[in-house]
Amino acid sequence: MTACRGAKICDAVQELEFFLLEYYRLLWCGQPDERAVEEMRTFATFSIVFFAALLGSGRVELAQKPGLEVPLVTPGPGWKSCPRCENEAHVAEDRRKANVDTHPFDPHDISGVWGDNGIELDLKTLPPFTPYGQKLYDATKSDSPEWNSKDPMNICDPLGYPRVFAYNYGMEFIQLPDRALQFFELSHTWRTIWTDGRKLPANPPILRYMGYSVGHWEGDTFMVEANGFEDRSWVSEDRRGRRHGFPHTSEMRVVESYKRLDYGRLQATLTVIDPKVYTQPWVTTGIATLRPNAEIGEYMCVPSDSIDFNNKNTLPADAATTK
Amino acid sequence: MLRPTLLITVMVALVAFPILNTPVVAHHGTALWSANEITLKGTVVEYVWRNPHALVIWDVKDDKGNVVQWTGELASPETLMGDGGMTKNSVIDQIKRADGTMVLRWSRQAGGTDEERAARDRAREARDAEGNKAKN
């Protein structure tokens, strides 16, 4: 362990290395090969040294988190930054200036830009797969050890719902008299939630990546139901190793509730119901925070750019495509 | 004004952060990434300010004088704006001020010759095949 410079760091590296190797065995059900061991060892070393630097020394330039000294990049006067175009210090400053904790609010007004990413689906509440669900899940396994080769995002296929709930780079709620819109920064796309009293289609004439959605208020909670989902999208990528995606069928239903806890916080609960794939409903609860000084930008997933990126930086040379 | 070292520091940080902060890297795994800190001086040949990640590609001469091309993957332009106060042009200015020569740390080797890359891939496939055989 030549990278070790102190006993405590050495111990920490060894502990993390042990954890990573156990994690590897769990995920891939086998002994890691030499290369994997070496990668995890160096990763463990780096991580611990990095965190030690973060914790231990203000003189380590790498350890400094970007703060208010970083100029805010906007298109010009009157324009705001996109949700991810501000660092944490600027976000905190914006929220302080807007008095988000004490600002009066209407519980039936959930409009605004929320978060700089979505709410990840809760792996702790992931129900067991049905046998058919397991088969679908297995089919999403990456062909490559280097990335998830089957992720529809690689070539900018639509993320669909609820993946874009879980991973969106910021979401704006817009309320109109007969509908609510969710505008997502990632992919620069939106979802319409009809509030004019219509019911979900019993037999959707065509499947939609964003589904068919209707909403209504129950007290101070905005309830949303959706169906008719295109089954080529994933519910979410599986972040445990990034080798799979969570599948769904076209019979998936999604039920959501949104409640404004105060001016600055929106509590969301999302339930995925797909008995063909999951033995129980899959429930995720999280809180999105208001971004008072941000506006949705334009994070497009551009197929030609993504293919170029894959060729330059992800695919091995002999697998790169020139398309 | 950005200090001359800031760009490099931010690059290092932003290339390192995605590994530690997984929500921002859904479209690739961690196996691609070099975990070794590397310092390389070379000439920038391409710079891409686009989604999903900005890239800097630069040529570095190895001990034998052969040119090896490296790819440095940065965060997305939006994150570079937020965490680094960068814009497309500010990065170009940085590169110009350095006469196209940059010292970058921490990246993965995308290059080498095509033969070298293909050899690495073949070796990896062989290892994987061996692993599968053992499991079966």
Neighbours of A96 (CB within 10 A): 11
**Helix, strand, or coil (residue A91):** helix
Q: What is the DSSP letter of A314?
A: I
Residue A27 has phi, psi (to 5 degrees) of -75, -45
Cβ contact, residue pair B26, A318, below 8 Å: no
The distance of Cα A286 from the centroid of its chain, to the nearest Å, equals 12
Residue B99 distance to chain A (closest CA, Å): 24
Cross-chain CB nearest to A145 (options B16, B124, B130): B124
Number of domains in chain B: 1
Task: Judge if A289 and A147 occupy the same domain.
Answer: yes
| Domain enclosing residue B131, as ranges | 4-135
pTM over 0.80: no
Q: Residue B13: list chain A partners with CB under 8 A.
A: 62
pLDDT digits (tens, 9 = 90+) for B15-50: 444 333 333 334 443 334 454 556 678 888 888 899
| d(C-alpha B73, C-alpha B83), whole Å | 15
Cross-chain CB nearest to A147 (options B32, B81, B86): B32
| Burial class of residue B126 in the structure, from the number of CB atoms within 10 Å of its CB (0-12 exposed, 13-18 middle, 19+ buried) | exposed
Crossing angle between the packed helical segments A7-28 and A34-56, to the nearest 10 degrees: 140
Residues 6 or more apart whose Cβ sits within 8 Å of residue B58:
B40, B42, B43, B44, B45, B69, B70, B72, B102, B104
| d(C-alpha A247, C-alpha A299), whole Å | 25
Cβ contact, residue pair B85, A73, below 8 Å: yes
Q: Using an 8 Å Cβ cutoff, are B53 and B75 in contact?
A: yes
Q: Residue A69 domain-assigned? A: no
Final residue of a domain: which of A40, A63, A86?
A: A63
Q: Residue A107 domain-assigned? A: yes
Q: Residue A33: list chain B partners with CB under 8 A.
A: 127, 130-131
Q: Residue A27 domain-assigned? A: yes
Cross-chain CB nearest to A317 (options B9, B55, B114): B114
Token pair for A52: 């030690």
Number of domains in chain A: 2
Residues 6 or more apart whose Cβ sits within 8 Å of residue B122:
none
Q: Residue B45: list chain A partners with CB under 8 A.
A: none
| d(C-alpha B71, C-alpha B44), whole Å | 10
Residues 6 or more apart whose Cβ sits within 8 Å of residue A229:
A160, A161, A207, A208, A209, A211, A248, A250, A252, A254
First and final CA of chain A: distance in angstroms? 44
Cβ contact, residue pair B85, A301, below 8 Å: no
Cβ contact, residue pair B87, A72, below 8 Å: no
Residue B119 distance to chain A (closest CA, Å): 10
| d(C-alpha A17, C-alpha B104), whole Å | 27
Task: Judge if A57 and A102 occupy the same domain.
Answer: no
Going residue by residue through chain A, which has 323 residues, state the pLDDT in tens, using 9 for 90 and above.
334 444 455 555 655 665 666 666 655 556 666 677 677 667 766 666 666 665 555 443 444 578 999 999 999 999 999 999 999 999 999 999 999 999 999 999 999 999 989 999 999 999 999 999 999 999 999 988 767 899 999 999 999 999 999 999 999 999 999 999 999 999 999 999 999 999 999 999 999 999 999 999 999 999 999 999 999 999 999 988 778 999 999 999 999 999 999 999 999 999 999 999 999 999 999 999 999 999 999 999 999 999 988 887 766 555 555 43
| Domain enclosing residue A119, as ranges | 95-314
What integer pLDDT is reported at residue B47 of this predicted model? Answer: 87
Residue B64 distance to chain A (closest CA, Å): 23
Residue B132 distance to chain A (closest CA, Å): 9
Q: Using an 8 Å Cβ cutoff, are A263 and A100 in contact?
A: yes
Neighbours of A22 (CB within 10 A): 11
Token pair for B5: 């070292």
Neighbours of B48 (CB within 10 A): 20
Nearest CA among A174, A200, A143, A183 for reference residue A314: A143
Half-sphere exposure of A322 (CA within 13 A, CB side): 1
Got the DSSP string for A42-70? Answer: HHHHHHHHHHHHHHH-TT-GGGPPP-TTS
Cβ contact, residue pair B52, A314, below 8 Å: no
Cβ contact, residue pair B128, A145, below 8 Å: yes
Task: Judge if A29 and A174 occupy the same domain.
Answer: no
Q: Residue A87: list chain B partners with CB under 8 A.
A: 82-83
Task: Judge if A120 and A236 occupy the same domain.
Answer: yes
Q: Residue A178 domain-assigned? A: yes
Cβ contact, residue pair A35, B127, below 8 Å: yes
Residue A217 distance to chain B (closest CA, Å): 32
More confident residue, B72 or A84: A84
Complex prediction ipTM: 0.70
To probe the interface with A, which of B22, B51, B86 has the most A CB atoms within 10 Å?
B51
Q: Residue A90 domain-assigned? A: no
Q: Which pLDDT band holds residue B69 (cuts at 50, 70, 90)?
A: confident
Final residue of a domain: which of A63, A79, A108?
A: A63
Residue B114 distance to chain A (closest CA, Å): 6
Q: Residue A25 domain-assigned? A: yes
Q: Using an 8 Å Cβ cutoff, are A290 and A100 in contact?
A: yes
Is residue B56 pLDDT above 70, yes or no? Answer: yes
Task: Judge if A187 and A264 occupy the same domain.
Answer: yes
| d(C-alpha A279, C-alpha A3), whole Å | 47
